[in-house]
Each structure stands twice: as C-alpha cells, then as structure tokens.
Amino acid sequence: MLRRKPTRLELKLDDTEEFESVKKELEIRKKQSDEVDVVGVAAFSNMVGASVGTGDGKTRDQMINERIGYKPHPKPNTLPSLFGNLQF
C-alpha cells in the first residue's frame, strides 16, 4: 500500500473568528448553567434544612428510602438464618 504525504490544512481568518465566537457562546452557556446549578443547590439545601428542622427525627437515609420506596428489613443473626436448615 502506498503512503501519501500528510495533508496540510490552512486556516483562514473566517475560520478562527468562527471558532472564537463558538467558544465564547459555550463559555456563556456554561456560566449560565453554573449559576443555575448554584442557585438550585442553595434552594435544595434550604429545603433540606427546613425539612431537617421539622422535628421528624428521620435521618437522611430514612428520607431517601421513603422517597424511593425502599423498606429495608434486617435479617436476624440466629444460627438457622446464617447456615440454613441443616438436616441429615
């Protein structure tokens, strides 16, 4: 198979201007999304702080388990539950 020489790409002034404009737009979008995230996190922490202060006495794990519908049932630590039913 023949190997050809590398192709040379030449950038024009329009290309660099377009790149800079797209880069600025992306930075602006990122700043806006970061501001929204910061405001959202602050609002969420205020809600969590308000819910923690209600006096329910629930831990964070319990609140999450209720929200997703998970109800853990601990297993007893007795010999039959650990080893099963040993009958010969």
Q: Read off the tokens for 75.
A: 């297993």
Mean pLDDT, rounded, of the chain: 76
Using a pLDDT cut of 90, give the percent of the chain over it: 15
Q: What is the pTM of this model?
A: 0.35
Q: Which residues contact 75 (CB under 8 A, 6 or more apart)?
A: 81
What pLDDT does 36 receive?
Answer: 73
How long is the chain?
Answer: 88
